[in-house]
Amino acid sequence: MTDRHSTEHCGVCGSKLDYLKQSEPLACIYCGKTERGHVACPQGHFLCDACHGKDSLRMIEDVAFATASGDPFEIAELMMVHPALPMLGCEHAYIAAGALLAALKNSPYGKGGNDDIREAFLRTSKQAHGGYCGLTGVCGIVPAAGACFSIFLGARCGTDREQRITMEAATGVSRAIAGLTGPSCCKAYVRAALAVAVGLFGERFGIALPVKDLSPVCRHSAKHPHGCREEKCPYYKKEATRDVFADSIYMPIAYCGPT
């Protein structure tokens, strides 16, 4: 049995990437740094986490800082259609955090600012690593959502209610993500995480963010390297079904039986 499972494609040469069962020391082709990794190109191309997401993270930060929207779903969808963003990857953890905190910043409650977004990104970077959704069972979007609640509440180790609510938020997001797995989809996970977070902000703090659609239609299913879950995903764009009676003419039938 091979220790390598091929999926997705290398951004340098287009070869199918190998997902390793055991980490190996790999040298980044851009910065030269060597780190132990679980995803590699058979032609020797490897990108460290920092170089892999550099362009995407800059875009996510720019959108989070500049947007005037108070709808986290609208902000996240804008980020997810950007051509610099890969179909899958831990960049989506920063999308979840950036979209949520940007929406809070722009809401009538005016909570937080760009410094909070930077802080959430820093905390997210400590726990969001490529492939670890399968390697440890923890998607990076979970700690990203937890970071948002922690910053909002001022939670830290040793606090009471603040830390408990932060952990409850992370647990709720993890549960929602687990319900959408098989195979994984980072974009679906972002939407599910935001739905949980928006609900908690409404229930716990009375903060009603102006969400237009809690279940946006996904436009990325054809790009999924593992195969989209399609009808099993609540965000899948279903083909419109034709009403077989739509073109028929209603003809009332006279009833001739006994009255």
Q: CB-hemisphere CA count at 13 Å for 101? A: 31
pTM, two decimal places: 0.76
Q: What is the pLDDT of residue 53?
A: 62
Q: What is the pLDDT of residue 84?
A: 80
Classify residue 99 by burial, with Cβ atoms within 10 Å: 0-12, 13-18, 19+: buried
The answer to which of 51-55, 59-63, 132-136 has the lowest mean pLDDT is: 51-55
Arithmetic mean of pLDDT, 42-65: 83
What CA–CA distance (Å, rounded) separates 70 from 18? 40
What CA–CA distance (Å, rounded) separates 70 from 101? 9
SS3 18: strand
Give residue-wise pLDDT tens across range 162-216: 999 999 999 999 999 999 998 899 999 999 999 999 999 999 999 999 999 888 9
What DSSP string describes 52-107? Answer: HTHHHHHHHHHHHHH-----HHHHHHHHHT-TTS-SSSTHHHHHHHHHHHHHHHHS
Q: Which residues pair with 40 in a beta bridge?
A: 18
Examine the pLDDT at 51 and tell me if it is beyond 80: no
Give residue-wise pLDDT tens across range 153-162: 999 999 999 9
Compute CA distances 148 → 10, 39, 112, 190, 254, whole Å. Answer: 32, 28, 10, 14, 67
Examine the pLDDT at 259 and tell me if it is beyond 50: no
Give residue-wise pLDDT tens across range 84-124: 888 999 999 999 999 999 999 999 887 779 999 999 999 99
